[in-house]
Amino acid sequence: MPAAAPQSDSEDTTGSLEQTVDFFARVTPDGRFTYLSDRGLEFIGYHRGYLQILTLPDLVPDAEFATLMDCFDRARERRTMQKCTLHLVKTLTYPRLVELRININERHPGEFTVLAFDVSSWLEREQSLIHDAHHDALTGLPNLTAARHEIDRIAGDMSDPSAQAAVLLVDLDEYHRVNHAFGYEAGDRIIQETGQRLQKIADRREFVARAEGDSFLMVVAHTPGREDIADLARRVSDAIQQPYTLDNQTLQLSVSIGAVMFPEVRHQSGKVLRQADDALIRAKRVQGATRLCFFEPNVRTKGADALKLESDMYNGIRNGEFSLHYQPISDARTQQVVGVEALMRWQHPVHGAVPPSVFIPLAESGGLINFLGEWALRNTCMQLAQWDNAGIRLPYATVNVSAHQFRDRRFPEVVREAIALTGITAERIVLEITESVLMHDPARAKMLLEELTAIGIRFAVDDFGTGYSSLAYLQRFPLSTLKIDRSFIVNLPHSVNDQAIVAAVVALARSLNLELVAEGVETPEQRQMLASSGCHLIQGWVVCKALPVDQLARKFALGELRTVSA
C-alpha cells in the first residue's frame, strides 16, 4: 500500500512562515516529499495525493537539474542554508523563477528543509527599474547614465587606431527665461520638443540622450573627424533655431555645443563628459549662428576622479559590488537588540571600500540614487523575512531615505510594493529622513508621512539636532523616532553643553511620546550616561559595528547579540 500523501505539519511551520514563503517543504535526499505546505502545494498546482509519486527534481527543468543537486550537496557538506536560483515548473507546463534555499533539517535526520521565493515579479520589477534608471521620464530619451554606458561601449569597441567617435553636449541658451515667462509646464514642452527635433536629425550612428535640465547629449559612434562633427553641430543649431509655439506665441531659441573627439582624448565616459562640459563653457562665449567649441587636450580639468568614480557606479550595480551591512540598535538596560539599521556599502574592484560620504552624492548627481534606495528598501524587507525563517526575530529595521527618493512621486508606491512582495508587516519598517527633507516642502512631506503611517510605516528623524530642530516642526509631522546625532555623543562625558542638549532632547522626546535613539555610542561611559539620562536605545561600536548579514547572524548564533524574544 502506498504511503499516505504528505500533509501539513504544524510543528515545522507557522502561520507567519506560510505567509512569508511561496513554497515550504521537507524532502528526502532523493527529493521525495515528506511534507509540503498548503501554500507550496497551491504554488506548484498539484493535488496533495500526487505527492506520492512527485519529487522535487520532477519540478525542475532538465537543464537546471545539476544546479539543484549542487545546492543539495553544498547544504549537506556545509550544514548551512544554501541558495540557488532556478525554475519550478508548475503543473509541468508553467515555469516560475524562484530563489531556492536548502538546509539540513536537524529535527528530522536525513531530510532537508526547502524554501522557495517566487522572484519572477521581482525580476520584472527590477527590469522596469533598470529601464527607469536609464531613461529620462520627461522626454523618454536615454538619460545621462545610459549615455555614459554608450560612450564606454563605443570606446571599448574601437579596435581600429584610425577610428574616431565624438560626444556633443548641446545646451539651450537662456532656457530659464522660458520658465520665468511661460511657466514650468511650458518649459517641459520645450524640452520634449527639443528632444524630438534632435532625434529627427540623428542617424543610426548617433545616440541622443537627455543629460539634465536643458542639456542633451549626442554620441557619434563613427566619424571621419572634426569637420563632420562641425556639420552635425550646424544641423543641430538649425533645428533648434526653428520657431517653437507656446500658447499661440512663437519663440526662438539658440544652442551652445561643446564637443569632444575620442580616442583623440583617451578616457572613459566620466572624463569625456567633463571635457565636453569644459568645451561647452567656452562655446557659450562664442559669437555667431553656430556656437561650437571642441575640447583641446592640453586644457586641464578638475574633478576627474569623481567623474570616473561616478561612471563606475553603473557597472558596480550590475556586478553586485553594492551590499547592505546592518548595525544593531540595542536597549542599554537589557543589552537586547531591538532593531537594525541598513547601511549601504560599495566594494569597488580597484579602489576597495568607497565611503558612503563619497558615493551617495555621486549617485544623486548621476541619477542612480532612487534605484539604489529602492534596492536597499526591498532587500531590507527580504532580509527581515529571511531572519524570521532563521529564528532571528528582529522587531524592526530602519532604512535611510534620500531627499531625491522622498520627492519622487512614486515613493509611496515603492514602499508598498516592497512590503507586499516580502510579506512582512509595515510596522517593522522605519524610514529615516533628515530634518532638511521635511522642511524642503513641509506640506507635501506631511501628506506623504500621513499616507505611509496609515499603512503602518514609521518615520525617524536622522541626525536630530543638526538642522531645524524645533518643537513646532516636530509637532506637525507623524514621527515615531528621533535619532540624536553622534556629534552630541562623542564628548558627552566631558561636555556640559552636550549633556544639557541630550537632557533637553530626552525631555522633548518624552513630551511628544517619541522613541529616542543615540547614534555613534562608542564607550561604556557614554552608554551609561545616556541610560541615566533616560535615553535607553543606543547604536554604535559599543554594541556592534555594521556587519554583513552572515557575520551578524553568527553573532546571534554565538549569543554575543540577543534579540528581544531570545
Least confident piece of the model among 226-235, 307-316, 476-485, 552-561? 307-316
Closest CA to 452 of 413, 509, 404: 413
Least confident piece of the model among 15-19, 97-101, 183-187, 302-306? 302-306
Question: Do residues 69 and 84 touch, judged by C-beta distance below 8 A?
Answer: no
- Topology of domain 308-563, per CATH? TIM Barrel (3.20.20)
**pLDDT grade for 281, boundaries at 50, 70 and 90:** confident
Segment 382-389 shows an average pLDDT of 94
Least confident piece of the model among 363-377, 383-397, 543-557? 363-377
Segment 286-310 shows an average pLDDT of 66
Segment 39-52 shows an average pLDDT of 87
How many percent of the chain have pLDDT more than 70?
A: 90
**pLDDT grade for 302, boundaries at 50, 70 and 90:** very low
The model's pLDDT over 140-164, given as tens digits with 9 standing for 90+, comes to 999 998 999 899 888 877 777 777 8
| 121 pLDDT higher than 60 | yes
Question: Do residues 244 and 190 touch, judged by C-beta distance below 8 A?
Answer: yes
Say how far apart CA 204 and CA 220 lie, in whole Å: 9
- If DSSP codes are grouped into helix, strand and coil, which group holds residue 431? strand
Say how far apart CA 151 and CA 473 lie, in whole Å: 47
How many percent of the chain have pLDDT more than 90?
A: 46
pLDDT at residue number 4: 45
Are β-strands 481-484 and 206-212 bridged in parallel, bridged antiparallel, or unpaired? unpaired
Segment 47-63 shows an average pLDDT of 89
Least confident piece of the model among 245-249, 295-299, 529-533? 295-299
| 264 pLDDT higher than 60 | no
The answer to whether the peptide bond before residue 61 is cis (omega within 30 degrees of 0) is no
β partners of residue 323: 345
The model's pLDDT over 57-114, given as tens digits with 9 standing for 90+, comes to 999 999 999 999 999 999 999 999 999 999 998 766 678 888 899 999 888 888 999 9
pLDDT at residue number 566: 52
Model-level pTM? Answer: 0.50
In the chain, residues under CATH classification 3.30.450.20 are 15-118
| 368 pLDDT higher than 90 | no
CATH of domain 15-118: 3.30.450.20
- If DSSP codes are grouped into helix, strand and coil, which group holds residue 242? coil
pLDDT at residue number 6: 56
State the CB neighbour count (10 A cutoff) for residue 507: 12
Segment 372-393 shows an average pLDDT of 94
* Phi/psi of residue 505, nearest 5 degrees: -65, -40
Q: When comparing pLDDT for 293 and 130, which is higher? A: 293
pLDDT at residue number 447: 92
Least confident piece of the model among 277-286, 342-351, 393-402, 535-544? 277-286
Question: Do residues 263 and 256 touch, judged by C-beta distance below 8 A?
Answer: no
CATH of domain 138-302: 3.30.70.270
DSSP 187-202: HHHHHHHHHHHHHHH-
In the chain, residues under CATH classification 3.20.20.450 are 308-563
In the chain, residues under CATH classification 3.30.70.270 are 138-302
pLDDT at residue number 216: 96
Measured in Å, how far apart are the chain's first and last C-alpha atoms?
45
Residue 77 amino acid letter: E
pLDDT at residue number 497: 82
The model's pLDDT over 407-448, given as tens digits with 9 standing for 90+, comes to 888 899 999 999 998 899 999 999 999 887 887 778 888 999
State the DSSP H helix or E strand holding residue 517, giving kind and residue range, or none if neither.
strand 515-518
Segment 444-454 shows an average pLDDT of 93
